[in-house]
Amino acid sequence: MTEADFAAWAAEWRTPPAAIVPVPALTVISSGGVLRGARVLIGLPGHGWRTGMRGDTMIRQGARSLVPVLAESEWYRAERERTEVFAALVPVERVWVETISTSAERTPPTDGLILVSLDAPPTRVAVSAESVAAQGSGQLMGRRLIQTGSEGEQRGLRAATEAHSGPEGHPVVRVTQEHDWYRWAATGQAPSTRAVPLAELWLE
């Protein structure tokens, strides 16, 4: 592949993936959505937000509606080992669910300073892995990734390496499925990985 061919091929996949929009858990439930296994954030407006969590089906305790929430690593352990793990019970009004934007407009992030409101968790726009890698080493490994290509968006990936030179001299990153990423930490069993062109990858 020539440099010109590579540039044309890379440009074809430069449309940013859909952004992640946090939605109140009550809104998700009222519209028929499912909390079990959903990526969630917990927190308070004006105080802060905790990410990297998974939710479970809402329960009632007297007049209170609570969502069992646990760290993502514990969620994967419970699914892998088919065992029960401890989950914190968080008031439903303090739980937000990560949803994929359905908006046709996909605005790439700007280089300028953007301040967000503390009324709700902010929308998270995908950032090209290429731009992050250009800032220096140590920025990609372990991060949540999206691959864009001819088959659309593929999520649920983690970067197992930083960007490096592939067989044809073009930058690539080795990625693994997220459940394998967490199994690696829990068992020491190295996951299967595959090389993906850096131009196809975005930080979620």
Q: Which of 8, 12, 88 is nearest to 54 (CA)?
A: 88
Rounded to a whole number of angstroms, the CA Rg of the chain reads: 19
Q: For 170-182, how does the pLDDT look when each residue is reduced to its tens digit (9 = 90+)?
A: 999 999 999 999 9
Q: Read off the DSSP letter of residue 94.
A: G
What pLDDT was estimated at residue 8? Answer: 56
**How far apart, in whole angstroms, are the C-alpha atoms of residue 64 and residue 68?**
13
What residues does each domain of the chain span?
A: 3-16+126-203, 20-100
Q: Which of 123, 127, 121, 122 is nearest to 109 (CA)?
A: 127
Fold for domain 3-16+126-203?
SH3 type barrels. (2.30.30)
> φ, ψ for residue 135 (rounded to 5)?
-80, -10
What pLDDT was estimated at residue 25? Answer: 98
Which residue is associated with the tokens 């659309």?
Answer: 152
**How far apart, in whole angstroms, are the C-alpha atoms of residue 155 and residue 171?**
20
What pLDDT was estimated at residue 5? Answer: 58
Low-confidence ranges of the chain (pLDDT < 70): 1-14, 104-111, 137
What pLDDT was estimated at residue 84? Answer: 87
Give residue 132's identity as a one-letter amino acid code: V
